Amino acid sequence: MRMKAGLQFAVCALAATLACCQSLGAQTLSVQWEELTAQDFGKAIQKSGGVCLLPFGILEKHGPQLPLGTDLINSRYAALHGATEEFAVVFPEYYFGQIFEARHEPGTVAYPAPLQLQLLQATTDEMARNGCKKILIVNGHGGNNSLLPYFAQSQLASPHDYVVYVMLHPERAQGRPAQKTTIDMHAGESETSHTLVSRPDLVHMDRAKDESGADLQRLDLPSDVYTGIWWYARFPNHYAGDGAPANKALGQFDMDAWSHEVAGAIRAIKADNKTLQLQNEFAGKATHPLDTPQ
């Protein structure tokens, strides 16, 4: 059937208006804090049960082939996909963590240690003031693995009306495709594969072998003796592994697993009322320890 052009336009315009209004009516709330209006923010907090995510990245060299923001990009990918699966509000870009060991490389931003803790505390305090009573830090950067549990422990120094949960990088899930490399600690096969999924346009596969990511093992100390220079001693190029065998299948497997892991954590945290209860009980006792039964 043929219609006159004018009539056809009017019918199409009407159909477009209907489609638009229908989609507006059914419009879902964004999981991203910065995309919500003030009014919708309140609805989002209610819908989330007060569960908010703080994906935590860093700015540091990632071998010769990956962008400086790799950890930020990948932790946000997992957090945003996890929150889409199980609703939570996701805080904007955050990259103010521990990265002193890469200060010799271009583009690294290493904030002073006291400022890292102060800024993180101010951030979670502000999140909580806005209704995020259960905050899950989704860590994307291995250099934060001491900082974040310490931050969580330091919450016990004073009473809080909210809980900080920390999710370090999850274990490798079962059924994972086989890897070609054994050293794979930073910007190697796994992380390059992950970025082939999150931001393939930023991965320079042709440069992956421009530098060595070999372990130089330049210190000879017992394994239980720690020194801050250990990483530089082993991997002076801030590259630990080989990104060349990276592939999308491995990346997709890991990023899906990580995203589901985040969604599972959100579900568990929504159901958890015990942590705050115990935290409050502890805070009360801590004000008068002599009364704690012995």
Question: Under the rule (CB under 5 A), what is the footprint of Zn ion?
Answer: 70-71
Minimum gap (Å) between residue 105 Cβ and Zn ion: 13
Provide, rounded to whole angstroms, the least separation between the CB of residue 187 and Zn ion.
6
SS3 content of the chain, % helix, strand, coil (to 5): 50, 10, 40
Kindly tell me which of 199 and 267 has the beta carbon lying closer to Zn ion.
199
Question: Cα-atom radius of gyration of the chain, to the nearest Å?
Answer: 23
Taking the least distance from each CB to Zn ion, the nearer of 71 and 261 is 71
Q: Which amino acid is at 109?
A: V
Q: Which is nearer to Zn ion, 60 or 86 (CB)?
A: 60
Q: Give me the least distance between CB of 43 and Zn ion, in Å please.
A: 34
Smallest separation, CB 266 to Zn ion (Å): 23
Identity of the residue, 70 or 116, whose beta carbon is nearer to Zn ion in the bound complex: 70
Locate 194 and state its tokens: 């992950």
115 vs 107: CA distance, rounded Å:
19
Give 29 or 187: the residue with its C-beta nearer to Zn ion: 187
Residue closest to Zn ion, measured at CB? 71
Q: Is 50 left (phi over 0), alpha (psi -120 to 50) or beta?
A: left
- CB of 86 or CB of 242, closer to Zn ion: 242
Report yes or no: 152 and 144 within 8 Å, Cβ to Cβ: no
Q: What are the CA-CA distances from residue 147 to residues 97, 120, 154, 234, 286 (Å)? A: 8, 10, 10, 21, 24
Q: How far is the CB of 12 from Zn ion (least distance, A)?
A: 48
Shortest Å distance, C-beta 193 to Zn ion: 12
- Judged by beta carbon, residue 133 or residue 186, the one nearer Zn ion is 186
Q: CA 99, CA 15: separation in Å to the nearest integer?
A: 54
Retrieve residue 229's tokens.
């220079």
- Each as own residue / partner, the long-range contacts of residues 107-110 (CB below 8 Å, 24 or more positions apart, any chain) are 107/59, 107/60, 107/61, 107/68, 108/59, 108/60, 108/61, 108/68, 109/58, 109/59
**Residue 186 CB, nearest approach to Zn ion (Å):** 6
Contact present, 35 and 44 (Cβ < 8 Å): no
